[in-house]
Structure formats: C-alpha cells, structure tokens
Amino acid sequence: MAACLAAGASPGEAAGAVGGCLGGTLGAALIRAQAELRLGGDPAECWQRFGGLPAAREMGRCLARASTTGVAPVAEMSRLAADLRAAHGRTALAGARRAAVLATAPLGLCFLPAFLLVGVVPVVIGLAGTVLGAGSG
C-alpha cells in the first residue's frame, strides 16, 4: 500500500490494487473501501470502517486522518510498513530461537544414554570386576 501511494496512486486506487493481490478478509475490506470511495462515500468514514478490522486498525486510522487533514499518507504508511516488517522479523527470529532450544532436548535424550553406555558402564564393570575379584581371592 505504501509503495502504491509513493508511486502517486490515490488511497482508493491503492486499496483496490493491494486488495486484489491480498485476498482474504483484509483484501476484501480494501476492495470494499475502494468501491465505497468510488461511489462517493465519505473517505473518513470509509477508512474508519476499514480500520475496524483488527489487522487494519493502524492503517485505517492513518488513512482516515489523511483524508480529513489533507496530509499525504505516504510517510506514515511507509513507517507502518517498516514496523510490520520489523515485527515479522522479530517473530521469525523468536521462532528460530525457540526451535534451537527445543532441538536440544532430543539431542540430550540421545547422547546421554549413549555416553553412559560407552563411557561410564565399561568403567563401572571394570571396577566392579576388580573389586569383586580382589574380594574373593
């Protein structure tokens, strides 16, 4: 959406272009907003309705503010896009870290018994044989 606005599209045109590509609930809401604007609906009300979606709250608020004040929404939309990308990156990084932590449990369950069988058990058997053999002789 920020790229469409930066390229010079109106918010309604940008909403139609992005909504057609997105699909889903958010895409349908963007296409509905474009249709309302095209039919002459009040832009502030249209964007406030769009902002009623949880995923579109900030974007709807930004576009409603831009429609009432006349300020171009490009900078604010670019900031929102950057914030969403950063949040997505943090979520992906947290998932990768969680996977690394969860991978240590199976490794521990496999290596600990192997270490005991290969390293500790032969020593215990050898010592037991020496102690028991010395005690009987």
Q: What is the pLDDT averaged over residues 113-129?
A: 90
> pLDDT tens digit string along 8-35?
999 999 999 999 999 899 999 999 999 9
Q: Find tokens 């006349």 and name the residue.
A: 70
- Cα dihedral 33/43/65/60 (nearest 10): -10
Q: What is the mean pLDDT of the chain?
A: 91
CB-based contact 37:46 (threshold 8 Å): yes
pLDDT at 137: 52
Does 72 reside within a domain?
yes
Q: How confident is the model at residue 100 (pLDDT cuts 50, 70, 90)?
A: confident
Q: What is the pLDDT averaged over residues 75-89?
A: 94
pLDDT at 20: 93
Does 131 reside within a domain?
no
pLDDT at 103: 86
Helix (H) or strand (E) holding 25: helix 24-38
Does 122 reside within a domain?
no
Domain that holds residue 75: 2-94
Total number of domains in the chain: 1
Does 100 reside within a domain?
no
Does 134 reside within a domain?
no
Does 113 reside within a domain?
no
Does 135 reside within a domain?
no
**Using a CB cutoff of 8 Å and minimum separation of 24, what contacts does 22-29 make?**
25/53, 25/55, 26/53, 26/55, 26/56, 29/53, 29/56
Does 133 reside within a domain?
no
pLDDT > 90: what percent of the chain? Answer: 73
